[in-house]
Amino acid sequence: MGSVIDLNDWRLNSMQGPVCAIAGCPNKPTNQCPKCSTYYCFEHVKSHFHMESSEDRQNRYDDINRIR
C-alpha cells in the first residue's frame, strides 16, 4: 500500500512545491501552463489536456459550420 500515490496529496504538493502536476511524474516542473496556471515538466506541459466546457466546444463547432 505504501507505494500507492494519493492523488490528493500529489495535487497539494504540486501547488506548494517542485513537482510536476502529473501524478507520479518524477521530473521537475519547469513550465507553467498559461491556460491552467499549473506547473508541469517539459514533457507534460505539452501533453496534458484541459477540461473543456461543452459550451466552448459547441461554439467552436458552430463557427466551423458557419464558415462552410
Where on the chain is the footprint of Zn ion (CB under 5 A)? 20, 22, 25, 27, 33, 35-36, 41, 44
**Smallest gap from residue 26 Cβ to Zn ion (A):** 8
**Smallest gap from residue 44 Cβ to Zn ion (A):** 3
39, three cell numbers: 506547473
Q: Of 9 and 62, which CB lies nearer to Zn ion in the complex structure?
A: 9
Which residues are bridge partners to 40 per DSSP?
31
Q: Of 1 and 24, which CB lies nearer to Zn ion in the complex structure?
A: 24
| CA quadruple 60, 61, 65, 67: dihedral, nearest 10 | 20
Q: Of 24 and 55, which CB lies nearer to Zn ion in the complex structure?
A: 24
Rounded distance between C-alpha atoms, residue 27 and residue 22, angstroms: 9
Give the distance, in angstroms, between the CA of residue 6 and the centroid of all CA atoms in the same chain: 17
